[in-house]
Amino acid sequence: MYFYIHWIVYLLGTYTRISTMKHTLIISLCFAPLAICYILIKLSLWLSTSVDEAKYVREDSKRPHGPYLADAYADVDKEEEAD
């Protein structure tokens, strides 16, 4: 008799563990499309931003740049300091 009770308890415990694993798998599969959509949105945003940045850099290199100073680090206030 003890053997049968032990076997029934073992089967119920196994069923509970399998049932819990099934529920976890079902919930994971329900949220999988949401995770896939999130990843695809992030990937498309990253790619479009990198393309826009490449276009900006390409256009900026062709833009005329202003006059450069002969000595950019010269002391501008040199005359004022002498007084």
DSSP 8-class letter at 77: T
Residue 12, in any domain of the structure: yes
Burial string for 56-82 (b: 16+ CB within 10 Å, else e) reads: eeeeeeeeeeeeeeeeeeeeeeeeeee
Domain containing residue 39? 2-61
Pair of tokens at residue 51: 């393309």
Residue 37, in any domain of the structure: yes
Residue 70, in any domain of the structure: no
Structural domains counted in the chain: 1
Write the pLDDT tens digit of every residue in 11-27: 666 656 666 777 777 88
Q: What percentage of the chain reaches a pLDDT higher than 70? A: 65
Q: Is the full-model pTM beyond 0.75? A: no
